[in-house]
């Protein structure tokens, strides 16, 4: 059946995203969620176990969780593609997914005959795809309520799989579980009231029988949390507020934000979660939330079994620049840092501050802070009050540095890869009313500025590599454009790093040197998706998949809509 006749695709196409004073609104969504089945019999009936997900770290044929493995390395052991062979990589096929909306996702691939891809995009549209034929096997569109408010587009960054289910967060701050073989809804759980400004856009992660999911709404005065749901039933197992009451003055805790709006990293050895945490609320007025606002803009470590807090490491104390630390954390087991005499597990974080932080996974103690990935000008200087009539462009701007873009880590080379923006912005603070479900910034952010700070190099973004042991910036490739860079990276263990750009290019870098080894132009629209890779033992090819299309925040973030899933291949 042609995709034009797919009712779920039609429902996604009929859904439009409008930018309003309060952010983005999703209009025209179906009244009830829609599943459209094409050829569901083609999906192998083999339930995915947690052991499969753990083993997928070494299995070149699997990509079973958002970050490629629980440690979120985004590193495939598939070895057909190497620095020597990547020049022969070719487009295998392009699939139009039908909904020209936000395209920030990372697909998953469940191995089998055929391997099945689970691919999602805005607005809460997910498909099962036969990766060999490029055929859609089922598709599903969630019925997003029209009163959802979103800071930054109708994003959905991916799904999780376990057993016979696929799990997707929903824009109205929920999680929906679908039957992985049929696309039919199994359960839905709301994790918070979307009318208060909560939403959900990230890929959840499943472990220990739980679906682990966070919170978004950091521009709407919500209070951040992380929640574990029973993977079978959707019942809540535990919930932890990211900020404890005693870290804030009085009722300011109610609008503390500090949301966890990207996927948590799982430590299966120590039963811990390491999660990124965003800005405090309101974004720019620190006078109503005095103190360092600990537990915002940093890394939160929780006990996986109970949700109890273990430690927090803060990257931007008392933040007034919207310096979320949103990108997923890299967990590096058995890490050695000779100059600190350290041996143990490490957690690496890239945040909007543009540094890479290497932390002791047991304590949250900083072992090393890297050289900045991009320029830091007027950084950590208090923004002016709106009455001052003063301007102070600062860098990184409020989009970072490294915003949500997931980094990658190659354990063979010992290098971590990032995608960062390098553009100034201005902000002013002022006292603002809080009104439930409405924007609560406590100020103004200006994206288009008259005069960049002195010393600005005019490069808008960069891809680079940092050594988490020494903190050295090993290489950096500036990416010039009128638009911001978005989307994450994938690396092969053999030493090739892939990423898309805002200029529509897919690029393969030499992981060791940063040399460009291969480039492919998909056209003029931006690439906001995060690539992934797998090997198919039947076709004896290694594949790289990436979603093409703009998305996101601010005028230059969108850079055009598209609806393509591009799959590249190289034969063994």
Partner 1 sequence: MTRQQITIDGRDELTDALGISRSDVGERPTLSELRRTVETETDPEFASMGEAIRDDMSGALDADLLASELAAFEEQIARLSEVRDAGIPEGAEEPEALYREIVQPAWRLYDHLVEAGFFESLEERLPRFTPEHIEQTAHELVRLDALSEELDGLGFDEREKTVLVMNVVNNNTRLARWVPTKEIPSDVEFDVEHVPPLHKRAMGGALLWVNSMDVHLWQKEVLVTEEILDDGYWDVKAMLAGVDLIARAALDVAEDGPMSDSQLVAALTGGAAIAIVNQEEICKDVYWITEEKRNPSPAR
Using CB under 8 A as the criterion, which residues of the chain lie in contact with partner 1 when the complex forms? 247-252, 254-255, 287-288, 290-292, 294, 311, 313-314, 317-318, 339-340, 362-369, 371-372, 376, 379-380, 382, 385, 387, 431, 433-435, 469-472
**Three-state DSSP state, 388:** helix
CA distance 449 to 468: 34
Smallest distance from partner 1 to CB 428, Å: 11
Q: CB 408 → partner 1: shortest distance, Å?
A: 22
Q: Which of 124, 358 has the CB closer to partner 1?
A: 358
In terms of CB distance, is 390 or 555 closer to partner 1?
390
| Cβ atoms 479, 485 nearer than 8 A | yes
Which pairing describes strands 174-179 and 185-190: parallel, antiparallel, or unpaired? Answer: antiparallel
Between 87 and 291, CB nearer to partner 1: 291
Question: Is the CB of 372 or the CB of 424 nearer to partner 1?
Answer: 372
Longest dimension (CA), the chain: 67
CA dihedral 147→151→153→156, nearest 10 degrees, is: -90
Pick the closer one to partner 1 by CB: 367 or 548. Answer: 367
> Taking the complex as a whole, how short is the minimal distance between the CB of residue 71 and partner 1, in angstroms?
22
Q: Tokens 């900083």 belong to which residue?
A: 366
Nearest CA to 139 out of 29, 33, 2, 35 is that of 35
Residue that is written with structure tokens 């220990």 in the block: 208
Could you tell me the two tokens for 419?
Answer: 């995608």
We find the least distance from the C-beta atom of residue 286 to partner 1, in angstroms, to be: 8
List the Cα angle 204/233/161 in 5-degree steps.
35
Cα dihedral value 388, 389, 392, 398, nearest 10: 90
Nearest distance from C-beta of residue 567 to partner 1, angstroms: 40
Minimum CB distance to partner 1 smaller for 142 or for 321:
321
Nearer to partner 1, 287 or 451 (CB): 287
What's the min distance (Å) between Cβ of 278 and partner 1? 18
Query: Which among 226, 223, 239 has a CA at the least distance from the CA of 289?
Result: 223
Q: Which is nearer to partner 1, 413 or 527 (CB)?
A: 413
- DSSP code at position 87: G
C-beta of 389: minimal distance to partner 1 in Å? 12
Q: From CA 218, how far away is CA 207, in angstroms rounded?
A: 26
Query: Hey, what's the torsion of the CAs at 507, 511, 517, 521, to 10 degrees?
Result: 0
Residues 6+ apart with CB under 8 A from 196: 217, 220, 222, 436, 437
Report the residue number, 274 or 535, with the smaller CB distance to partner 1: 274
CB of 479 to partner 1, least distance (A): 23
Q: Residue 239: is it exposed, middle or buried by C-beta count within 10 angstroms (0-12/13-18/19+)?
A: middle
Q: Residue 210 and residue 397: Cα distance in Å, rounded? A: 36
Burial 71-107 (b: 16+ CB within 10 A, else e): bbbbbbbbebbebebbeebeebeebebbbbbbbbbbb
Q: Which of 49/287 has CB closer to partner 1?
A: 287
In whole angstroms, the minimum distance from the beta carbon of 57 to partner 1 comes to 28
Q: Are strands 225-230 and 265-267 parallel, antiparallel or unpaired?
A: unpaired
CB atoms within 10 A of CB 433: 7
DSSP 347-388: EEEE-TTS-EEEEETTT--EEEEPPPSS--BSTT-PPPBGGG
Cis peptide before 123 (omega within 30 of 0): yes
Residues with Cβ within 8 Å of 246's Cβ and at least 6 positions away in sequence, in order, are none
Which alpha helices (DSSP H) does 48-172 contain, by range? 50-55
Supply the minimum distance, in Å, between the C-beta of residue 320 and partner 1.
9
In angstroms, give the least distance from the CB of 340 to partner 1.
Answer: 7
Minimum CB distance to partner 1 smaller for 7 or for 369: 369
Distance CA 275, CA 264 (A): 4
CB of 251 to partner 1, least distance (A): 4
Q: Which is nearer to partner 1, 112 or 244 (CB)?
A: 244
* Residue among 174 and 356 whose Cβ is closer to partner 1: 356
Residue 63 vs 311, nearer CB to partner 1: 311
Query: 52: how many CB neighbours lie within 10 A of its CB?
Result: 18
Q: How far is the CB of 439 from partner 1 (least distance, A)?
A: 14
CB of 196 to partner 1, least distance (A): 13
| Residue 501 burial class via C-beta count within 10 angstroms: exposed 0-12, middle 13-18, buried 19 and up | buried
């Amino acid at each position: 059946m042609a995709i034009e006749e797919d009712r779920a695709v039609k429902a996604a196409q009929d859904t439009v995203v409008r930018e309003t004073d309060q952010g983005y609104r999703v209009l025209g969504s179906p009244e009830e969620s829609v599943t459209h089945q094409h050829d569901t019999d083609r999906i192998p009936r083999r339930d995915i176990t947690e052991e499969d997900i753990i083993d997928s770290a070494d299995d070149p044929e699997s990509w079973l969780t958002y970050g490629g493995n629980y440690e979120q390395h985004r590193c495939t052991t598939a070895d057909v593609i190497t620095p020597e062979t990547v020049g022969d990589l070719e487009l295998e096929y392009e699939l139009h997914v039908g909904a020209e909306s936000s395209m920030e996702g990372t697909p998953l691939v469940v191995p089998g005959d055929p391997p099945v891809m689970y691919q999602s995009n805005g607005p809460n549209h997910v498909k099962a795809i036969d990766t060999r034929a490029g055929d859609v096997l089922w598709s599903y569109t969630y019925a997003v309520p029209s009163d959802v408010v979103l800071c930054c587009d109708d994003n959905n960054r991916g799904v999780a799989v376990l057993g016979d289910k696929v799990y997707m967060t929903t824009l109205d701050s929920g999680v929906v579980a679908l039957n992985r073989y049929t696309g039919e809804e199994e359960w839905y759980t709301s994790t918070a009231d979307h009318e208060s400004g909560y939403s959900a856009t990230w890929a959840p992660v499943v472990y220990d029988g739980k679906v682990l999911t966070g919170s978004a709404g950091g521009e709407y005065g919500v209070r951040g949390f992380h929640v574990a749901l029973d993977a079978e039933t959707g019942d809540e197992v535990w919930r932890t507020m990211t900020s404890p009451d005693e870290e804030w003055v009085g009722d300011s805790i109610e609008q503390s934000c500090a949301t966890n709006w990207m996927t948590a990293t799982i430590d299966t050895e120590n039963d811990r979660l390491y999660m990124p945490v965003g800005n405090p609320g309101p974004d720019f007025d620190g006078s109503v939330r005095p103190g360092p606002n600990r537990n915002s803009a940093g890394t939160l470590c929780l006990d996986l079994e109970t949700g109890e807090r273990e430690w927090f490491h803060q990257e931007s104390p008392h933040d007034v620049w919207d310096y979320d630390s949103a990108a997923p954390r890299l967990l590096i087991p058995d890490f050695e840092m000779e100059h600190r005499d350290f041996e143990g597990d490490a957690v690496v974080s890239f945040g909007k501050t543009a540094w890479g932080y290497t932390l002791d996974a047991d304590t949250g103690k900083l072992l090393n802070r890297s050289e900045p990935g991009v320029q830091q000008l007027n950084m950590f200087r208090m923004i002016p009050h709106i009455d001052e009539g003063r301007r102070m462009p600062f860098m990184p701007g409020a989009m970072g540095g490294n915003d949500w873009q997931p980094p990658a880590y190659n354990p063979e080379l010992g290098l971590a890869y990032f995608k960062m923006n390098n553009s100034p912005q201005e902000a002013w603070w002022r006292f603002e009313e809080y009104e439930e479900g409405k924007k609560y910034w406590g100020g103004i952010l200006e994206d288009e500025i008259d005069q960049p700070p002195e010393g600005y190099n005019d490069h808008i973004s960069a891809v680079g590599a940092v050594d988490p042991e020494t903190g050295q910036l090993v290489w950096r490739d500036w990416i010039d454009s009128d638009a911001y860079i978005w989307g994450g990276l994938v690396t092969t263990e053999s030493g090739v790093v892939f990423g898309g750009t805002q200029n529509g290019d897919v690029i393969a870098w030499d992981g060791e040197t940063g040399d460009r080894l291969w480039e492919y132009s998909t056209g003029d629209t931006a690439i906001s998706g995060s690539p992934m890779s797998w090997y198919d033992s039947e076709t004896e090819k290694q594949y790289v998949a990436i979603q093409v299309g703009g998305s996101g925040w601010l005028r230059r973030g969108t850079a055009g809509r598209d609806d393509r899933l591009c799959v590249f291949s190289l034969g063994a």
